[in-house]
Amino acid sequence: MDKYDVTVIGAGIVGVATACEIKRRFPSLSVMILEKETSPAMHQTGRNSGVIHAGVYYQPGSLKARFCQQGLKDTIAFCRQHAIPFQQCGKLIVATNSLERKRLHDLYQRCEQNDLSPTLLSKSMLLKKSPNTLGEEAIFIAQTGIVDYQTLTTVMLNEFLQLGGDVTFNFPLIKVEQLQTSCDLLSHHARINSGFVINCTGVMTDRIATMFDLELDFRIVPFKGEYFQLPAKYNQIIDHLIYPVPDPSLPFLGVHLTKMIDGSVTVGPNAVLAAAREGYHKFDFNLTDMAASFTFPGFWRLLNRHKSSVWGELKSSLSKREYLKQVHKYCPQIKYHELLPYRSGIRAQAVAKDGALIHDFKFIQTNTSLHVCNAPSPAATSAIPIASEIVNRIENQLNTQN
């Protein structure tokens, strides 16, 4: 049986960044990453919009805001250091009616509170800056960028290996045996002993946490984000990311146009309740995952609290024309047949027992483990400062391993 001082479960960007940070600060510790897939960043990390967020939306002083502000700097610095392609193309948030204009002005103030430098654009100024975008008013945030997070994670994993870390793929965790000062982690074919374990498994976080006999006051509810890609003729339609004004009561940012780092343009995502935690196709269904949601009181309270939003997202999922209506608010020239298939993603959203969406980061820590129970968007942008926070929290335990 192999033994390690620290084991990180999950090779998404947060898990890999955390393992890398441990090896930098505690080079003598033996560190293992366990991943059930055959390569890193196969789920949330590799299936998002690729946006490097600037911190527009988040409550000033919250972990979300602080991590995002630092994460923007750290992500760009990492890309420059390793010659990873990125672009700071900026973001336009576009208001198309009076309610959205009011919310837009609130966002403008929040941008200033989060130390950004937003530019408020009138209708004519918006048309001049982005001729293919319609709106009554907009704000422009120059700091927002784009990158391929799967590429970034792969580069970071290689750095971790060069620092002396280890990674094991094809290791689905099926059981945890807790000992007095360590844990045994079991898959179907192997057993690993670890002095400390960090759970960075995204949509599976609550399920892994229960293997450590933790009593949880939340559950992960999966939301599917469905995207489309536009034909190549639209690759020059926008110079910036184009976002609607979001509903502040929800953690989702609405269907937007995103320049990808390869030059293409995608549309999306919506945010429909998913019938499988890792179900990326339209009608994927997993009975275990559905039972986990249906038996959780918070799930039904969530549905009741956001009935109109849930119904609206379901309609956009079932009908491409309903989806297109959201895009036409600010980009009416796109045709129905021009919404081409593209990969979807699953967002791991922690929901409390009372049905409230947990908006900020949530950690649970024991003597031998730490669980990243909620790492909401912008977790990819914020992965490096999240990793630093995790290592700060477990520094005493790591010192005993040293």
What's the average model confidence in pLDDT over 108-127?
A: 93
In tens, the pLDDT along 166-207 reads: 999 999 999 999 988 899 999 999 999 999 999 999 999 999
Residue 166 lies in a domain: yes
Residue 70 lies in a domain: yes
DSSP 144: -
What's the average model confidence in pLDDT over 122-145?
A: 93
Residue 40 lies in a domain: yes
Task: Report d(CA 110, CA 139) in Å as an integer.
Answer: 12
Looking at residue 402, its pLDDT comes to: 66
Report which of 140, 153, 168, 152 is spatially closest to residue 38, judged by C-alpha positions: 168
Question: How long, in residues, is the chain?
Answer: 402
pTM of the model: 0.93
Listing DSSP states for 22-62 in one string gives HHHH-TTS-EEEE-SSSSSS-STGGGS--EE----SSPTTS
Residue 10 lies in a domain: yes
- List the CATH number of the domain containing 149: 3.50.50.60
- pLDDT above 90 coverage of the chain, percent: 70
**Tokens, residue 168:** 């094991």
**Which structural domain range is residue 190 located in?**
1-88+144-217+359-402
Tell me whether residue 231 is exposed, middle or buried, using C-beta atoms within 10 angstroms of its C-beta: 0 to 12, 13 to 18, 19 or more: middle
Residue 371 lies in a domain: yes
* Non-local CB neighbours of 186 within 8 Å, separated by 6+ positions: 173, 174, 175, 176, 177
Check whether 253 has a pLDDT greater than 90: no
In tens, the pLDDT along 39-79 reads: 999 999 999 889 999 988 888 888 888 899 999 999 999 99
Residue 345 lies in a domain: no
Task: Report d(CA 185, CA 193) in Å as an integer.
Answer: 6
Residue 45 lies in a domain: yes
DSSP 274: P
Residue 329 lies in a domain: no
In total, how many domains does the chain have?
Answer: 1
Asked if 256 and 242 touch (Cβ cutoff 8 Å), the reply is: yes
Q: Which range among 121-130, 307-316, 334-343, 363-372 shows the weakest confidence by mean pLDDT?
A: 307-316
